[in-house]
Amino acid sequence: MLVSSDVLAFEINNAPDIQRKRILQLIGQQSSKVIPLTESIRQRAKIYETSGLQAFDALHLASAEGEVDVFLTDIPHPYS
């Protein structure tokens, strides 16, 4: 089962690369569940930020925590 989040939807909708945005939207449409952004997720993300994660990365991780068995992320290649 593929799970998504409000955080991911926001990031996809604001992606500047149109081709990448379309691909991510297609993948997102396959999600069986969307995790809503809550105050507890925001608070947990702040803890991750103090450990060095960037804001969106912290929100993604906090959204997935306790909800999924495997957390997949896409880190752009530095030369792409």
- At 5-63, the pLDDT tens digits run 999 899 889 989 999 899 888 888 999 999 999 999 999 999 999 999 899 889 999 99
Exposed e or buried b for every residue in 11-44, given b needs 16+ CB within 10 A? ebeeeeeeeeeeebeeebeeeeeebebeeebeeb
Give the integer Cα–Cα distance in Å for 22 and 70.
24
What's the pLDDT at 11? Answer: 87
DSSP alpha helix (H) spans, 37-79: 39-50, 55-64
What's the pLDDT at 38? Answer: 97
DSSP code, position 4: E
Tokens matching residue 39 = 């105050």
pTM to 2 decimal places:
0.80
